[in-house]
Structure 1
Amino acid sequence: MKFITGKIVAGQVIVDGAPFDEGTVVSVFTHEADEPFELSDGEEAALMLSIQEAERGEVISGAELIASLRGP
């Protein structure tokens, strides 16, 4: 897993640095142009843990999430 930045050019994501291999699956997080996207070490660790859980299939459905927010 790695993080890399880029921007949209002609409808495509252009990344800074070395290109990804063809077929690489990526996730895109966006923010406003005047809003920095920075994570603390703890936030990055929590994000990585969540990504690993999702990759293992440890997820819930949208309906389950909504039900959990409504409470008992």
Structure 2
Amino acid sequence: MKIATGKVIGGKVVVEGDSFAEGSVVTVVARDDDEPFDVSPEDEKALLAAMVQADRGEVVSWEDLRERLRPVRD
């Protein structure tokens, strides 16, 4: 998984830095001009570590999560 920053130019997202492989599936999250998205160095480190875990397949399925949460709701 990669995180990239870019700008919309001519109706297309132009990414800074390394490009993505042709056919890559991406999700674009846009913020409003007056809505900053800042994270602390610690939060960025935690986010990147979580992405590495997900890439290794260390994830919880929706079904497992639902079962874990069920006792909390009951």
1:30 corresponds in structure 2 to 29
What's the TM-score, normalizing by structure 1? Answer: 0.65
Superposition RMSD in Å: 2.9
- Indicate the percent of aligned positions where both proteins have the same amino acid: 36
| Greater radius of gyration (CA) | 2
Q: Which runs of 5+ in 1 are unaligned?
A: none
Q: Work out the number of aligned pairs and report it.
A: 70
The TM-score normalised by the length of structure 2 is 0.64
User: Which structure carries more relative contact order (alpha carbon 8 Å, separation 6+)?
Assistant: 2
Flag structure 2 segments of 5+ consecutive residues without an equivalent.
none
